[in-house]
Amino acid sequence: MQSRQEFQQTVATRSSHGLRGHYDNIAADFTVAQDYGKYSPAHQDVWRRLYARQSALIAGRACQAFVDSIAALARSGFADAIPRFDDVNEALAKATGWRLVPVPGLLPDAVFFEHLANRRFPVTVWIREPEEFDYIAEPDLFHDFFGHVPLLFDQKIADYLQAYGAGGLKALHLDALSHLARLYWYTIEFGMLLEDGRLRAYGAGILSSPGELRFVTDDGGHDPQHHARFIRFDLMRVMQTEYMIDDFQQTYFVIDSFDRLIEATAPDFTPYYASLRNLPALKAGAVLDDDRVIAAGR
């Protein structure tokens, strides 16, 4: 595992593409204080505007558990000002026993997994600047909170994420992290769910992005070159598939229910990782002959 000092070194030497969080005052588990007083009126305004825009888009696009949870969060006032993690944690502890922990940004893998395995979800403390309203390259407070926190209130996703954290620690030992990272990408970040026969988003990367949320659920009107395909989830297929981080996805993997996702990922992955070592990586966006494609465009 990379030590805190080594990670700080990595961050410090990444010049203009370095992580922008401040890693100098971190605890051993990479957490920091939220320091609520640091948020300026401009940051609060960005929060309110992002939250309002994104909430208005979720009906008919996000899965029901997410929609319900967003409504409950709004009733508690979390749409109106940057949330204090302590306040959220009271509600979250009662619902699923999870807790948000403030962090400066991306974390070393082992640290991240250790948090998840203990039902702690790392949330970035800083929020994007007004000029980054539509696009930001790194996860910020808005992505982490709006995209991830609502489903932490869902019992099944709460359990899945904890199991994922434990699985991550195991994958590190087995040197299989690239495979498991793909599973996170195509479920927790960009997962789609078939709900009453309709495609709905449950992945945080989609749910926190106005462009991508419309892209995956709306008819027509968009660039035909960005014609996404929706493929039925298959665990090994997903763990073989590379991903693209700088554009909308061209293929999304669709689950039938959170129960089926949990079932598919419950077995010990050790033999799966052994097989994956002998299988070729599949390109992001590729559609294979035996993929079960659900629908194009919507």
For ligand PHE, the closer CB: 58 or 107 = 107
204 near Co ion, rule: CB under 5 A: yes
Of 99 and 170, which CB lies nearer to ligand PHE in the complex structure?
170
Give the 3-state DSSP-derived string for the chain, with helices as H, strands as E and coil as C.
CCCHHHHHHHHHCCHHHCCCCCCCCCCCCCCCCCCHHHCCHHHHHHHHHHHHHHHHHCCCCECHHHHHHHHHHHHCCCCCCCCCHHHHHHHHHHHCCCEEEEECCCCCHHHHHHHHHCCEEEEECCCCCHHHCCCCCCCCHHHHHHHHHHHHCCHHHHHHHHHHHHHHHHHHHCCCHHHHHHHHHHHHHCCEEEECCEEEECCHHHHCCHHHHHHHHCCCCCCHHHCCEEEECCHHHHHHECCCCCCCCCEEEEECCHHHHHHHHCCCCHHHHHHHCCCCCECCCCCCCCCCEEEECC
Name the residue with the smallest CB distance to ligand PHE: 167
Contact pattern for ligand PHE over residues 111 through 150, marking x by CB under 6 A: ----------------------------------------
Which of these segments, 6-14, 72-80, 164-172, 276-284, binds ligand PHE (CB under 6 A)? 164-172
Q: Which residue's CB is nearer to ligand PHE, number 23 or number 160?
A: 160
Q: Which does 72 bind (CB under 5 to 8 A by kind): Co ion, ligand PHE, none?
A: none
Q: Which of 83, 104, 167, 203 binds ligand PHE (CB under 6 A)?
A: 167
For the bound state, the minimum distance from the C-beta of residue 54 to ligand PHE, rounded and expressed in Å, comes to: 27
Site string for ligand PHE, 240-279 (x = CB under 6 A): -------------------------xxxxx----------
Interface map 222-261 toward Co ion (x if CB under 5 A): ----------------------------------------
Binders of Co ion among residues 89 to 148 (CB under 5 A) are: none
Residues forming the site for Co ion (CB under 5 A): 204
